Structure formats: structure tokens, C-alpha cells
Amino acid sequence: MVYSRLSLYLIAMVTLLCFSACENKNSSGSANEGIPVNTVIVERRNVPVSFEYVAQTQSSHMVNIQARVNGFLEKRIYTEGAQVKRDDVLFLMDKKPFQAQVDAAQAALERQQAALETARLNFARVKPLAEQNALSKKDLDDAKGTYETNGASVEQAKAQLETALLNLSYCTITSPLDGITSAALKQDGSYLNIADSQLTTVSALSPIWVNFSLSENQVQWYRDQVKKGLLLPPQNDEYDVKVIQVNGTLFPHSGKITFTEPYFNAQTGTFLIRASVDNPEGTMRPNQYVRAKIEGAIRPNAILVPQRAVQQSAKGQFVWVVNKESQADFRPVQVGDWQGNNWFINDGLQSGEQIIVDGTVTLHPGALVKVAKTVQITYPSDPQQTIKETEMAKTPP
């Protein structure tokens, strides 16, 4: 009985030792293989960058439509809120009083023209008689004066007729440009006078202005970046301006910056910048809120890394770098701006280094790592593209 108990005890001890040896062997093998991680290869490239600002649209040409003569408004022709073409009729005023003025001015002109003809014939008769001394010099001067006076009266009558015709034409109120109309401010039958004569407004839709503002700090930051060589503006500062609509889609037409306010606005603390954007379909309307995307600048010799690769410690931001022995090294870095899902690294990394982007939870300095795959950042030559990440299978070193 004693021997059987001793045998069972020995068997149990041997089994435990075997399990312990196997566990140590597996643990040793896992440590030798390293911690699986995903990495990215650092590369310096010229990277197109863009900036986004909250913006508001504005009509590039807005005209107040006003009556130019006093009178009664007869009829509104246009449909409120509709788009109109240049010279389309918007309103009609009562023409009868102005037509009467035209008729009176026409009659006055004809009367003056008849008087001029009589004076001309009289002067023509007096002139040869005065030359023969049959009439006095005074008679000649009177005839000539009457002729010239009537000539001036004719010109005056012509001017009055022209004024009357202009006033008559002002009864037909047309649009001076292609654009969109607003609501009518006067109803049919209203009496219009010059002091209160605004009828509506017409606003051009193409091109449309996109206004955005930069704070004093943003302007200074931009100047500092250019001065340090961290930012290269496009030639002649000809930035491309794209519009991001309220639903997040990109407006199909782009524009250029056409005006920069030379003065600082003390009330808003900003500088106003205006871009002109083609809007042939009239999709964008004045006073809409959009986002202006400014493209054309380049960061020279820049390093980009995914944002998830950059971590925060008590001493600042850092990344994990894979050294030549496939070990994780702690590397402090100085980060710059965001670009999509990536960070610009201003200092701390060199081209060709391999940094860890995934699998950093259990890392510590000197930890052995196994590269499962490499995340490659592609740098688009077309600044309209976005920087994308593609995954590539990679054999562990």
C-alpha cells in the first residue's frame, strides 16, 4: 500500500516537470520569434498640402433694381426668385403720362423747326438786299439773330424730346445682367417715387465669390513657415481654390484668389480673402456657408507618418523605431501639422528608417519584434488626390 502511494506521487511529479518544461520551451520559442508589428518606411518627399477655411459665398455683381421716374407701377413681369437674362423685362410702369410728354415734346420740336425754316428764308432774302444797300445793316443783323435763335430753340426742343423718350423708356424696367432675382418690394398699382423706388435685386451667380478670413496668428504662421523653408507657395501665389459643399462633396468648378484685403479688420481680428469661382449651373447661391480648400503649396523634403504611430509620453511625443537587430527603439520626435490621417515629422526621424505603426501596446525598449507587414504611404503627384495607405505583405527580416 505504501509502495503504491509512492508510485503515484512519483508519477505526478514527473508529469508536472514535463508540463513545466514544455511551457518554458513554448515561451522561449515565442520570445525568440518577437512581437508581431506593422511598420512603415520613412521617406522624404515633396508633399502637396492644402488648407481649409470656413467660407461664405457672395454674388460677384449685385444690382438694386430701382424706378428712374415717378409714376404708377403697372405690372410685375418676372417670377420672383427666378433666373433672368440681361435685358429681360422685370416691371412695367404706366406709360400714358410719359407718352403724352413725348407727344408734347415732338409738337414743340416741329413748331421750332417751322420757325427756324421761316427765319432761314427771311435771312436768305435780307442778306442780298443788305449787300446792295437796299436794307440797313440793322435789318441784316435782326434777320441773322432771329435765324440763329430759332436754330438754338430747335436744338433745345430736340433735347426735351430726347428726355421725354428716355423717361418713356424708363417705364420698361429690365435686368442689367444675367442673374437671379429676389422678391418684389413693390406691388402692382403702387406709386413709385425716386426717394423710395427700389423694386428688387438681381444677383449674378457666375462667377461667384467665395470669401474666407485668416486670423492674424494664421497669417504670421504662414509667413514663418515660408521663411523657414517648411512651406513653398505656388508660383506667383496662384493658389487653386476648391469648394467643399455642405454635404461634404467637392464642387465641380475651382477658382483663384482674386482679392486680399490689405487692411486688418480690428472688429473681427482677421484679413479677408476672396476667391472667384465659376458657377455656370447656378448651383451655389449667395450667402451660403461652405469650406474653401486652398491647394498649391508644397512641403519640401517632408516626412509623413501615420498618426497612430505617434504616441505621447511624459517627456513628449515619440515613435518606436525598428533597429538593425529587429529591436524596438524609443525615439522622441517633433511633430508638425496633420495631413489627412498622417503627421508631418519636423525632427527626430531620417529617411529609410522603419517605424512601428501597429502592435505597440506591449513594446518596451529593446523588445524583439517581428514585422508582419509594412504600411506604405504613397505620395500623390496630383495635389487633388489624398494621401492613401496601402498594405503590402513583407517577409520578416
Residue 31, all three cell numbers: 520570445
What is the CATH number for 235? 2.40.30.170
What is the CATH number for 381? 2.40.420.20
Q: Are 328 and 369 in contact (CB under 8 A)?
A: yes
Q: What tens digit of pLDDT does each residue of 102-129 get? A: 999 999 999 999 999 999 999 899 889 8
The values of phi and psi at residue 324, to 5°, are -70, -20
Residues 38 and 55 in one domain: no
Q: Among 257, 279, 299, give the residue marking a domain's end.
A: 299
pLDDT of 390? 37
d(CA 245, CA 259): 22
Residues 186 and 249 in one domain: no
Residue 12 lies in a domain: no
What is the value of pTM for the model shown? 0.72
Q: How many angstroms separate the first and last alpha carbons of the chain?
A: 60
Residue 8 lies in a domain: no
Residues 177 and 130 in one domain: no
pLDDT of 70? 95
Residues 88 and 176 in one domain: yes
Residues 282 and 312 in one domain: no
Residue 4 lies in a domain: no
Residue 375 lies in a domain: yes
pLDDT of 207? 95
d(CA 113, CA 115): 5
Residues 165 and 258 in one domain: no
Q: Are 72 and 379 in contact (CB under 8 A)?
A: no
What is the CATH number for 181? 2.40.50.100
Residues 195 and 88 in one domain: yes
pLDDT of 10? 46
Q: Treating both helix axes as pointing N-terminal to C-terminal, what angle do 96-131 and 137-169 enclose, rounded to 10 degrees?
A: 160
Residue 11 lies in a domain: no
Q: Is 221 exposed, middle or buried (0-12, 13-18, 19+ CB in 10 A)?
A: middle
Residue 369 lies in a domain: yes
Q: Among 260, 283, 299, give the residue marking a domain's end.
A: 299
Residues 184 and 310 in one domain: no
Residue 25 lies in a domain: no
What is the CATH number for 114? 1.10.287.470
Q: Among 170, 188, 221, give the residue marking a domain's end.
A: 170
Q: Are 213 and 273 in contact (CB under 8 A)?
A: yes
Residue 77, all three cell numbers: 413681369
Residues 188 and 222 in one domain: no
Residues 187 and 223 in one domain: no
d(CA 65, CA 200): 5
| CA-based nearest residue to 52, from 214, 216, 291, 222 | 291
Residue 133 lies in a domain: yes
Residue with grid cell 498649391, as numbered in its chain: 296
Residues 176 and 89 in one domain: yes
**Domain span at 73:** 68-93+171-203
> Structural domain tally of the chain?
4
Residues 177 and 84 in one domain: yes
Question: Which positions of the chain have pLDDT values less than 50?
Answer: 1-4, 6, 8-12, 14-31, 382-397
